[in-house]
Amino acid sequence: MALEIHEELGGKTLEVRASGKLRRENYRRFVPRVEQLIREHGKIRVLFDMRDFRGWDAGALWEDIKFNFRHYRDVERLALVGEKRWQKAMGSICRPFTTAKIRYFDRREIDRAREWIHEGVHAEATGGGFGA
């Protein structure tokens, strides 16, 4: 299980790669950093890359629900990149928990997802993402 975070455009956008099954411990590192970026930038944008992702255990799911409740308005755009039918359905499942614009992209469309997440965002620093 892994949850990798890559900041782009000076921290205004995040590319998060999730693989395996997420556990509560993954959120202990993720949440403080994301909350710091929200304090610094206000609304942020997130690309959530689900490569070999198998979901959450109960503790991680609870941490995810708490995070979404606390930051209901803090994510401006959420790009979901996946490879399975249930991952595509996550866009609909997430809508009640955020005011973010949400779009799903198939794995082959990851470059389009990155373009959409970065569209109209300007920052002093830029990052290069994980690559395809």
CATH, residue 94: 3.40.50.10600
Neighbours of 80 (CB within 10 A): 20
126, part of any domain: no
91, part of any domain: yes
45, part of any domain: yes
pTM of the prediction? 0.84
Q: Is the pLDDT of residue 38 over 90?
A: yes
Q: What is the pLDDT of residues 68-85, one digit of tens each?
A: 888 989 999 999 999 888
**Which range of residues forms the domain containing residue 48?**
2-118
Q: How far apart are CA 75 and CA 71, in angstroms?
A: 7
Tally of domains in the chain: 1
